[in-house]
Copies of this chain bind each other. A is one copy, B any other.
C-alpha cells in the first residue's frame, strides 16, 4: 500500500513551482545516488551537482540557483531542504492509529483516555492520568499517576513518564526515554547523604521530540521546563530545574547540569556538557564535545575541544600543557632580558 503524488499535486499542497512535466508521479524520496524513476530526489548543496547529472530519479527538488542544472522534472523551492522534509512527510505518513485500549494494557482508576487514543498491550497508565486525543502509547510504556499528555503524542515502546508531569501536544518520545525521574539532590549529614525529595515536575510544551534513552529529571522544588519546539536527540541527560528555551536543538549524549537555563534557538553539539546554574543566551551554538563552564551572555558560536592527532604526536605536545604556566614565565623572562640587553 504505497501512496503516490503528481508533482503538480505536491506543489498545490506545499508551494514551490514545477519546471518540466508536472504529471510525473512519484511514490518515494531517495538520495540522488540511489533514487529510482518512481522516486523524487533533492539537491540541497551545490557540491552534489555532479550526482545530479547521473541520477535516475524521476524528479528533483532544488533551489532557484540550481533550477537550470538539470532537465529532469523538478520542483523549485526557496528552502529545498525543508521542502524535501515536507515531501518525505507526505509520502511517509505515520502508521494509522487504531484507537482503543488493548486488553493487555493496565489502566489505573480514574485515568482518562481519549476514545481516539491507542494504548498498546503491556502499557501501564497510572491513576488519574489523562491521555489526549489521537495519542499512541506504545507497548511497555509507563505513565505515572496524574500525568497529563496533550493531543497527538506518539510514545514509542518503553517510555516512562513519572507522576504529575505535564506534556503538551504533538510529543514524540522514543523508546527508553525517562521523563520525571528524581533529580540528583543530597545533603551531607554526619557522613551520610540525606536524600532531598524531588517534588517539582517536568513540564513539556508542544511539538517536542525526545530521543531514545534520553532522561529529563523532575525539579527539586520548582519544575524542569522544556519549551515548545525543542528537539532532543538520544541519550541526553537533563538535570533538575533546567529550562530549555523554545526551538533549541540538542544533539546526542549532551549532559546539562541542574538549574541551568538555555535560551531559544540554541544548537548544542553532541556530547557537549553544560555545568549547573548557568545562563545561556538565545541563538548560541555550542560545538560538539565542548564543556561550558560559565554563562554565555551573547549569541554566537563557542568551542573548547582538544584537537586530536596521532597518539605519538599527542604525547609529545600534551606533556607541555602541564607546564604552560612555566613556559609563559620563561617567555616573559626572555622578553625582560632581551629588553635589558637591547637597552645596553
The interface of chain A, by Cβ under 8 A from chain B, is 28-31, 34, 79, 81-82, 84-86, 88-89, 92, 102, 104, 106, 120-122, 124, 138-140, 142, 156-158, 160, 162, 172, 174-176, 178, 181-182, 184-189, 191-197, 199, 207, 209, 211-213, 215, 217, 221-222, 229, 231, 233-235, 237, 239, 247, 249, 251-253, 255, 257, 265, 270-271, 273, 275, 285-293, 300-325, 327-328, 330-331, 334-335, 337-338, 341-342
Contact = CB atoms under 8 A, between A and B. Distances in A.
Contacts of A28: 199
A305 B320 contact: no
Most buried by B among A120, A211, A301: A211
Contacts of A92: 197, 199
A325 B321 contact: no
A270 to B, nearest CB: 5
B139 A121 contact: no
Given A85-B187, A303-B314, A307-B319, A192 B337 contact: no
A233 B217 CA distance: 10
B320 A324 contact: yes
A242 to B, nearest CB: 11
Given A124-B122, A291-B289, A84 B160 contact: no
Nearest to A192: B229
B213 A178 contact: yes
